[in-house]
Amino acid sequence: MEFANRMNGIDSSPIRKAFELARSIQNPINLSIGQPHFPCPPNIIEAMNKAAIEGKTSYTLTAGIPELKTAMAEKYRTQNHMKYAHEDRILVTSGISSALFLLFNALVNEGDECLVISPYFLMYPAMLKFYGGKVVPLSENFTAYDVEALKNRKFKLIIFSNPSNPTGKVLSKEQLRALANLAETTGAYLISDEIYELFDYDGQFFSIGSEYEKTITLTGFSKTYNMTGLRLATILAEAGVIKALTTLQQYTVVCAPSITQWAGIEALKTDMTTYIQDYKEKRDFVYESLKDHYTIQKSGGAFYSFFQVPCEDEEFIKRAVKKDLILVPGFIFCDSKNYVRLSFATEWETLKRGMKALQELAKES
């Protein structure tokens, strides 16, 4: 079989491998999974089912149903303080991954340098490389001074997730402003992936799009409402970018699933505060349980902790498996082999078992 050259170097995601490992253990402590443990709220399911019964099973407009775009524009204006947010700046996509795929397809030429804040969501470098992009990592602990030093480089785009998958880091205003300045002076596209925006435990989260209008903001429904399987996200960007991406979407997924788009409207009306509060307590519990045993920072957002382990990540993963604990090795998110990613999006009981196992592992090292 002869595949296209771009398929070289693309490999099955190690997170998916962790999924499979978890399936082989009787009663695993699965802290590898990147999706909420709570169910999608019933009012959202009801709205979706109503749309289906009403026959909304046909193609929608490529860019999404106007009702959802209007609701999202309102959300961007009021919750994210993006005064410029209007319908013609919004594209509804089949999840964030689909949004990334459209963006990288539309933007990246062979050899283009792309600045990726590290540790990074593993899909960024994988897909950038797929389209010939060259990944330049910049540590998430960068200062404005570090960014200033890059001002004579030519980047096609700058991308980060905020709050971060895998570290839970919430970038500061100063950091975000430095990236926006760099984008403006170098002509790079600034892509802010805000899928975890509601998982912000200390009120630190800031949409850089509220200050820098050229920002390409990615907003997902999957994590906030546990709609990972329903495939829904939106892109907010300049109208010219949205027009190009919409054309490309005509030739790819055509439109986001119709009924899911109707579910999205209801989701925006749903208060998730109690769920977020629960995850905040879990965030604290993880930190308190591990801080005397590992080198660990308290996560500011998302539902991950990314901490240093006393041996190589893959060796640590193997030791953890012996205690039925499933984690994700850090090397897939950055250039280091000294970290693992833990997801605290799980039941209390599972989380407590996990902390106990991690405390034991620390003592055994």
Region 241-300 residues binding a copy of itself, contact defined as CB under 8 A: 241, 244, 247-248, 250-255, 257-260
Cβ closest to a copy of itself, residue 105 vs residue 338: 105
In the bound complex, what is the minimum distance in angstroms from residue 240's beta carbon to a copy of itself? 5
Q: Does 145 bind a copy of itself (CB under 8 A)?
A: no
- At 260 the three-state DSSP class reads helix
List the alpha helices (DSSP H) in the chain: 14-23, 42-53, 66-78, 96-107, 123-130, 144-148, 173-186, 239-250, 258-267, 273-290, 313-321, 348-364
Cβ closest to a copy of itself, residue 7 vs residue 149: 7
Choose the stretch contacting a copy of itself; rule: CB under 8 A; options: 169-177, 195-203, 233-241, 287-295. 233-241
Choose the stretch contacting a copy of itself; rule: CB under 8 A; options: 71-79, 121-129, 203-211, 299-307. 121-129
Region 25-44 residues binding a copy of itself, contact defined as CB under 8 A: 35, 39-40
Contacts of 16 (CB under 8 A, 6+ apart): none
The four Cα atoms 288, 292, 294, 295 give a dihedral, to 10 degrees, of 90
Count CA atoms closer than 13 A to 84's CA, side-chain side.
Answer: 14
Q: How far is CA 281 from CA 241, 272, 357, in A?
A: 40, 15, 19
Choose the stretch contacting a copy of itself; rule: CB under 8 A; options: 93-101, 164-172, 173-181, 352-360. 93-101
Cβ–Cβ < 8 Å for 96, 233: yes
Residue selected from 71, 180, 227, 325 as contacting a copy of itself according to rule CB under 8 A: 227
Cβ closest to a copy of itself, residue 41 vs residue 300: 41
In the bound complex, what is the minimum distance in angstroms from residue 289's beta carbon to a copy of itself? 27
Q: Does 62 bind a copy of itself (CB under 8 A)?
A: yes
- C-alpha to C-alpha distance for 34 and 24, rounded to whole angstroms: 19
CB count in 10 Å sphere of residue 164: 26
Interaction site with a copy of itself (CB under 8 A): 1-7, 10-13, 16, 35, 39-40, 45, 48-49, 52-53, 55-60, 62, 94-95, 97-98, 101, 105-109, 123, 126-127, 130-131, 156, 187, 226-231, 238, 240-241, 244, 247-248, 250-255, 257-260
